[in-house]
Amino acid sequence: MTDPNHTSERRSTNAPRPRTLTTLLAALLAVALIAACAQAPTPEPEPEPAVLRGTAIAPVPEGEDPIPLLATTLLLIDIEAAALSASVSGGADGAARAALQASIAGLDADASTAQPSQVVEIEEGVYFASIALVESDGSFELVLPDGDALPSSVMRTAEDAIPFDFYVGDADCSIVASDPSVLVTQTFGEFLAFPAPFFFTPFGFDFAITFSEEIDIDDEPDEFTSVSVVYATGATTLTTTGTECSFDGFTLSANASLEEGWNQMTWTESETSFAIGARSIDEPVFSVVFGF
């Protein structure tokens, strides 16, 4: 005959086991979850957009009222296609003024949603890239668009980004790139350089000369550096090569190291030389606005 006390003791011994197993499984699950969380990849932060910062002035003859600067944009031009017309730089009915009014209202000329870093074609071969307000003290911060937003028509292989024939004609002097496969925004500089900031006023769209530093417009410096703004799809260095880059006491040279992304191209002119260089997009610029 089975001892009932013995059975009761066995049941009492076995009773906690299900709870112990549940506790163990819960602990293992918690460890697995902690391990999974520890191994989960951290999402990479989105890169900060490139910003061109500067100050602009609009000189006026003595006795005349100052011209307020309303906004600025980056002017991109396809040299082969563009023919800047009066509609771009014209008055109240100009395309530029209409684009400014539409952008401020949050719409582009086609009434679709506009973004501050949008690239808009104003006419064939002429583009506005981004828009930013100009503060009352003339300062501005122009957020530049992503490279993917740039039209292919303004991009060239690195060695063709500067229309060098304009400077040298048939002379044996040309641009070479350390990585010729890199694409660079087409650019040009001779006092007036582009792409560069251009400005909206109550009277329309005015061109500007953008310098590497603040200048006294009443002076006539022996040397000055104007600036254009270019995008490069990769790192490359542009230099000059050839036997005729120096002639009649004048030297034409290039030593421009571009980083992937936005850069400033510098154009330094004097009576004896013309030098093309590059510097960081973070360097402040100084723009002198004039009617065109």
Rounded Cα gap, residues 101 and 120, in angstroms:
14
User: Which residues are CB-neighbours of 123 under 8 A, at least 6 positions away?
Assistant: 82, 85, 87, 88, 95
**For position 55, what pLDDT does the model report?**
96
- Does residue 151 contact residue 121 with C-beta atoms inside 8 Å? yes
Rounded Cα gap, residues 55 and 42, in angstroms:
39
For the segment 98-118, what is each residue's pLDDT rounded down to a tens digit?
Answer: 554 444 444 344 433 344 557
**For position 220, what pLDDT does the model report?**
77
SS3 36: helix
- Does residue 191 contact residue 226 with C-beta atoms inside 8 Å? yes
Domain segments of the chain as ranges:
51-290
The amino acid sitting at 257 is S
Considering Cα of 155, then 156, then 160, then 165, what sign does the dihedral take?
A: negative
SS3 231: strand
292 residues of the chain, pLDDT tens digit each: 555 555 544 444 555 455 565 665 566 666 566 666 566 566 777 778 899 999 999 988 788 888 889 999 999 988 777 554 444 444 444 554 455 444 444 434 443 334 455 788 888 888 888 889 999 999 999 999 999 999 999 999 999 999 888 888 888 999 999 999 999 999 988 778 989 999 988 878 888 999 999 988 777 778 899 999 999 999 999 999 998 898 888 899 999 999 999 999 999 999 899 999 999 999 999 999 986 4
Predicted TM-score of the model (pTM): 0.76
- Does residue 284 contact residue 208 with C-beta atoms inside 8 Å? no
- For residue 149, the Cα-to-chain-centroid distance in whole angstroms is 10
SS3 207: strand
Rounded Cα gap, residues 292 and 96, in angstroms:
13
Cα separations in angstroms, 245 against 132, 172, 226, 277 = 40, 7, 21, 16
| Strand residue runs (E) in the chain | 51-57, 71-77, 119-123, 126-133, 139-143, 155-157, 174-177, 183-185, 188-190, 192-194, 196-201, 204-211, 224-232, 236-241, 246-247, 250-258, 261-269, 273-280, 285-290
Q: Per this entry, what is the length of the chain?
A: 292
The amino acid sitting at 286 is F
**For position 141, what pLDDT does the model report?**
94
